[in-house]
Amino acid sequence: MKIKDIRNFSVIAHIDHGKSTFSDRIIETCNGNFEANQDYQSQILDSMVLERERGITIKAQNVTLQYKSKTGKRYYFNLIDTPGHVDFSYEVSRSLSACEGVLLLVDSSQGVEAQTIAHCNMALDMKLPIIPILNKVDLPLSDPNRVIKEINELIPEKYLNKIMLCSSKTGFGIINIIEYLIKKIPSPHDFSFHPLKALIIDSWFDQYFGIVSLIRIKEGIIKIGDQIKIMSSNRSYKVEQLGIFTPKKIIKTKLTCGEIGWLICSMKDIKCALVGDTITTVNNPAIQSLPGFKRIIPKVYAGFFSSKTENYTFFRDALMKLSLNDSSFFYEPEQSNILGFGFRCGFLGLLHMEIVQERLKREYNLELIITTPTVMYQVRLKNNSILYLDNPSKLPEMNKIKEFREPIAKCMIVIPNEKYLGKIITLCSNKRGKQSNILYYGSQIELIYEIPMIEIMIDFFNCLKSVSKGYASLDYNLIGYKKSDIICLDILINSKKIDPLSLIIHRSNSLYHAKSLVSKIKSLIPSHQFEIVIQAAIGKKIIARSTIKQFRKNVIAKCYGGDVSRKKKLLEKQRYGKKKMKKIGNVSLPIEIFRSIFFIDKK
């Protein structure tokens, strides 16, 4: 394989614009599919069952293809299918840095959306050539002229190539796109004689081989038997197996500059091969690692508890196995006075959390109780130390706290026209957002807001979809921390604090949340034989209260007629009994309380 015949490219798009279907068509058209044809399934690159079922790409995937062009020349393509969801934007950025060009796929019936802009800007920052492709032109609602206008305003002329049309469903336009990308996407630079620099695009756990990494050789060469080291940790390993995906696993003895393939080196822990890290050789190491590596930290935290306490060890093993495959998933033991032993888990976002929950349910048959998701707050104490807080139960006493700081996200909201603009602006200001810009791409409008991360995590996306009738799309990224008036809202049931229901929220939201929580809990707890008082409190101050009336047994039903003193005696006995019961009575809380309080719609 000559380096000038290699083309490495990524397909980027907003979620559901047809990336995986488009990749399938490219694979079908190229030689690589000859092998894949034997057991062909659609969405070849979405290999996880969950990915196929939900129609979403969760992990970046690569395939090496051979293509004989119209001129008769043979080319080698490395195609990377990237996740479209905002939770996985770091993976997208690393996939892009493994390429020399990108295919920007836009659904011609939808137009430019939030992730189209975010991913396109990422590619522009890396100065990669972009080939815009209008997909789904077979649909009656497809409007290529409108979308071409939007793309012209999105991409500066300098980086803009010819806008191609295609239908991934029918295969229309695919060959033209392939021929065009050969001309427009450059081959990798030849740095074969430099010391090895290989970029880790993705890593996963294989039960037979341990950690498998997808790598792009940026400089140098890697061979079986080489002693390599991971540059961020300085740990060294021996290369045991190398190869490429076509999409079948093909074993090779070496990977040279410009190639993308897999690497096995008897590594056991996925945290040793983090996405974006650089691999070099021990004997002839590179001086500098590749740019752009960062350790991704979870954005959302929640408590996971098993509904059956005897499952604890099994639950812990399940989490351990999941984390083997997912370096961005974090967990540590947590204890609650109500739910018992469980784990505090950290995720990249709510979709990531949903995926983990779903996998625990399917693969390990675990029914879980999940506490309200929260974000990581910074707490500056009076002794000037800084505490990172992801769990209300770890909150220090208020008199020790100097100030709270909360994470702020930059949000890009894209809407097709001005129709829903007013409602979206109202929603953003209700969520304590500050507008920083409005941009126009043809008729598409991009609103840029700074919104506290917790507001985005708690149902922002659903509210946005509902006020815009599903037309708005959202992308966000963490930009820093800001001082904020944060409080801890506790829920008390018959004066007993129910720790899994505590929330860390902004003071301006406290009354609303307190009232909604109290009324929701009231609707979920059945009547008992004694009165149940539900209270929401900030510290010692009660800000909302509700009572569930006792279930009253008619003790005098059997006394028809008869002496009034007999009835009085029975009622007195009942009153005494209830008093006693209230003291010893334990409210039985239905599990739904912890599940359905998850999200409270705000305004």
Residue among 17 and 513 whose Cβ is closer to ligand GTP: 17
Tally of CB atoms within 10 A around 271: 13
Interacting residue with ligand GTP among 8, 10, 33, 57 (CB under 6 A): 57
442 Cβ neighbours under 8 A, 6+ residues apart = 111, 112, 146, 147, 149, 150, 152, 153
In the numeric block, which tokens belong to residue 461?
Answer: 């996306």
> Distance between CA 39 and CA 21 in Å, rounded?
17
**Residue 59 lies near ligand GTP (rule: CB under 6 A):** no
Provide the minimum distance between the beta carbon of 156 and ligand GTP in the complex, in angstroms, as a whole number: 25
Provide the minimum distance between the beta carbon of 17 and ligand GTP in the complex, in angstroms, as a whole number: 5
Residue among 84 and 303 whose Cβ is closer to ligand GTP: 84
Q: Which of 312, 222, 324 is nearest to 268 (CA)?
A: 324
The stretch among 53-61, 121-129, 332-340, 484-492 that binds ligand GTP (CB under 6 A) is 53-61
Residue among 15 and 408 whose Cβ is closer to ligand GTP: 15
Q: Please give the span between the terminal C-alpha atoms of the chain, in angstroms, as a whole number.
A: 60
The stretch among 52-60, 187-195, 200-208, 239-247 that binds ligand GTP (CB under 6 A) is 52-60
Provide the minimum distance between the beta carbon of 243 and ligand GTP in the complex, in angstroms, as a whole number: 25
> Distance between CA 407 and CA 451 in Å, rounded?
9
Indicate the burial class of 558 (C-beta count within 10 angstroms; 0-12, 13-18, 19 or more).
Answer: exposed
Contact 286, 219 (CB under 8 A): yes
Residue among 118 and 503 whose Cβ is closer to ligand GTP: 118
Q: How many residues bind ligand GTP (CB under 6 A)?
A: 19
Bridge pairing between strands 473-484 and 401-415: antiparallel
The stretch among 54-62, 177-185, 342-350, 413-421 that binds ligand GTP (CB under 6 A) is 54-62
Residue among 55 and 526 whose Cβ is closer to ligand GTP: 55
Provide the minimum distance between the beta carbon of 155 and ligand GTP in the complex, in angstroms, as a whole number: 19
Provide the minimum distance between the beta carbon of 18 and ligand GTP in the complex, in angstroms, as a whole number: 3
Interacting residue with ligand GTP among 27, 30, 84, 104 (CB under 6 A): 84
Written as one string, the DSSP assignment of 548-562 is: EPPP---TTTT--SS
Provide the minimum distance between the beta carbon of 52 and ligand GTP in the complex, in angstroms, as a whole number: 9
Provide the minimum distance between the beta carbon of 113 and ligand GTP in the complex, in angstroms, as a whole number: 11
> Is 457 strand, coil or helix?
helix
Helix (H) or strand (E) holding 211, with range, is strand 210-219
Residue among 13 and 324 whose Cβ is closer to ligand GTP: 13
Q: Which of 145, 150, 155 is nearest to 119 (CA)?
A: 155
Rounded to the nearest 10°, the torsion over CA 308, 313, 316, 320 is -140
In the numeric block, which tokens belong to residue 31?
Answer: 């030689």
Residue among 155 and 174 whose Cβ is closer to ligand GTP: 174
DSSP-H helix ranges across 165-278:
174-184
Provide the minimum distance between the beta carbon of 214 and ligand GTP in the complex, in angstroms, as a whole number: 17
Written as one string, the DSSP assignment of 60-103 is: -EEEEEEEE-TTS-EEEEEEEE---SGGGHHHHHHHHHT-SEEE
CB closest to ligand GTP, residue no: 84
Provide the minimum distance between the beta carbon of 325 and ligand GTP in the complex, in angstroms, as a whole number: 18
> Distance between CA 16 and CA 168 in Å, rounded?
12
Provide the minimum distance between the beta carbon of 78 and ligand GTP in the complex, in angstroms, as a whole number: 18
Residue among 16 and 459 whose Cβ is closer to ligand GTP: 16
Q: 12-51 mask for ligand GTP (x: CB under 6 A)?
A: -x-xxxxxxx------------------------------
Residue among 302 and 348 whose Cβ is closer to ligand GTP: 348
Interacting residue with ligand GTP among 55, 396, 422, 590 (CB under 6 A): 55
Contact 491, 498 (CB under 8 A): yes
Q: Which of 467, 447, 444, 474 is nearest to 111 (CA)?
A: 444
Question: Could you give phi then psi for residue 453, rounded to 5 degrees?
Answer: -55, -40
> Distance between CA 37 and CA 435 in Å, rounded?
51
Residue among 21 and 64 whose Cβ is closer to ligand GTP: 21
Write out the binding residues for ligand GTP, residues 116-175 only, by CB under 6 A.
135-136, 138-139, 167-169
In the numeric block, which tokens belong to residue 537?
Answer: 């409190």
Residue among 138 and 459 whose Cβ is closer to ligand GTP: 138
Residue among 351 and 593 whose Cβ is closer to ligand GTP: 351
Q: What is the DSSP letter of 511?
A: H
Contact 394, 333 (CB under 8 A): no
> Is 134 strand, coil or helix?
strand
Provide the minimum distance between the beta carbon of 545 and ligand GTP in the complex, in angstroms, as a whole number: 45
Q: Which of 467, 473, 469, 465 is nearest to 423 (CA)?
A: 467
Residue among 55 and 333 whose Cβ is closer to ligand GTP: 55
Provide the minimum distance between the beta carbon of 44 and ligand GTP in the complex, in angstroms, as a whole number: 11
Binding interface with ligand GTP (CB under 6 A): 13, 15-21, 55-57, 84, 135-136, 138-139, 167-169
